[in-house]
Structure 1
Amino acid sequence: MNILTNPLYRPLLEILRAARNGIVYGGKLRFSHALVISLLYRSGPLAPRLKQVLEATKNHAEVLASFAIIYKACCKIFAHEALLGPKNLPLIKFVAGSIGSWIVYSQHFDLFHSGITHQITLYCFSRVMIACGKMLLDQYLSCAQPKFRNYAGDAILYKDLTANQQKKLKSSVYNKSWKYFAILTWGLVMLIYDIQPQYLQSSLRHSMAYIYDVEMETWSNWREFLGF
């Protein structure tokens, strides 16, 4: 029987496939980002800059592939009947993700590039917070059944709204939440950058300096002003 179709090897193949996908995704993502940053914002000989791009690509791919291997392996192990069993899949995935992040992202073992693990974790954190807010809103609407007024001024329970009306209501709340979240985030980041910039992540701090700190710049002609 072919190894690829043999059920005995299926768990191992799934782990390897996840690692492969992590390498491909991390490589594509970091290479393009690092290449643009190197060409646009860094100076010096081209060869060392390209070496830095390849190094950053390798580090990013290593992080995603390592987490994928640990996470998938833990899922397979804990799903065994002698441990948590397949019925506890949500708990298994939480535990597996926690173990994987402890090894890869927490910087406890100092095995992976700290800047990359820091960036990826912060990226996920913002998405997790938004997702948690949406889940809490759904739970509140379903359990509390608040009343809303239609155009005629009549009070209607949430459960009595049509599916389309419920969708529009949720979208309206999401949009308002995002508005206040964006306002607070950018207000705070500009304040912190002004009073204590050393506490911001280095790439964010450098990009903000490049964009906003133009008070001392001088330009003798339009060519210099436009950067050509």
Structure 2
Amino acid sequence: MSILTNPLYRPLLEVARTARNGVVYGGKIRFSHALVINLLYRSGSLRPRMIEVLKATKNHAEVLASFAVIYKMVLGVLVNEQVLGSNSKALSKFVAGCFGSWIVYSQHFGYFHPGITHQITLYCFSRVLLAVSKIILDQYLNCSNPSFKVAGTSMQNYKNLSLNQKSKLKQQYYNKAWKYFAVLTWGLVMFIYDYQPQYLQSSLRHSMHYIYDVELDSWGTWKEFFGI
């Protein structure tokens, strides 16, 4: 029996695999992003700019891989040792996620790049907020059983709707949640950028300066205007 098929080594292999996946995914995401930003918005010789790209890629990969390793190791201990009980895998995942985030994303220890950990955390926050709003909506619909007027029919209780009608109804509210979230987010971003821009994350601040502060630019020719 080889190591790959030996159940004894399976937990270690899973940790190694998740670390590898974190490195690959983080490298792909950050390399392309950093490369475009440096080529389009940075000036200077090419070599130091490419070094910045590689450093950003390395930092992003380290963050994702480190969290993945810590999460899988802690989860393995909690589940296999039944620390939180025999039927608490979901709670174990929550605790493992919190512990891994405390090590990697909270900047409590200062081991990882703060800009990258902030970006990833804020990215996840928006997704979590939208997911929570959907969970609350589903709980409300299933528990309160409100009535709705469906096209071509009279008022009906939610539980009496067909699966297709329920899906369309929930999608309408999901879309509204996203619209309100997008409107509020960008309204606040533009307000903060004008009011106290130093509180925004640096890469967001720099990109907004490049895009929106065109009144500070000057152009003598069309070539300069189009950046040719």
**What TM-score does the superposition give when structure 1 sets the normalisation length?**
0.97
2:130–2:177 contact (8 Å) kept in structure 1? no
Question: How far did 1:86 drift?
Answer: 4.6
Mapped pair 1:132 → 2:132:
yes
CA distance in 2, matches of 1:150, 1:48: 61
1:215 is paired with a residue of what secondary structure?
Answer: helix
Q: Aligned in 2, Cα 1:82/1:221: closer, same or farther, shift over 3 Å? A: closer
Q: CA RMSD in A?
A: 1.2
> Which residue in 2 is equivalent to 1:30?
30
Question: Match for 1:218: what amino acid?
Answer: S
CA distance in 1, matches of 2:180, 2:98: 30
> Which residue in 2 is equivalent to 1:57?
57
Could you report, residue by residue, the CA deviation over 1:154-196 in whole angstroms, capped at 9, with x for unpaired residues?
2100001111110100111111121121111111111111111
Unaligned segments of structure 2, at least 5 residues? none
CA distance in 1, matches of 2:173, 2:84: 38
CA distance in 1, matches of 2:68, 2:183: 35
Question: How far did 1:220 drift?
Answer: 2.1
Output aligned runs, 1:1-228, within 5 Å.
Answer: 1-152=1-152, 154-228=154-228
Aligned residues: 228
Unaligned segments of structure 1, at least 5 residues? none
2:88 is paired with a residue of what secondary structure?
Answer: helix
2:26–2:61 contact (8 Å) kept in structure 1? yes
CA distance in 1, matches of 2:134, 2:146: 16
The ranges of structure 1 where at least 4 consecutive aligned residues each deviate by more than 3 angstroms after the TM superposition are: none
Question: How far did 1:98 drift?
Answer: 0.5
Question: How far did 1:82 drift?
Answer: 4.8
2:21–2:65 contact (8 Å) kept in structure 1? yes
CA distance in 2, matches of 1:151, 1:60: 49
Instruction: Report 1 or 2 for greater relative contact order, CA contacts < 8 Å, sequence distance ≥ 6.
Output: 2
**What TM-score does the superposition give when structure 2 sets the normalisation length?**
0.97
CA distance in 1, matches of 2:116, 2:217: 32
2:87 is paired with a residue of what secondary structure?
Answer: helix
Question: Match for 2:68: what amino acid?
Answer: A
CA distance in 2, matches of 1:216, 1:84: 58
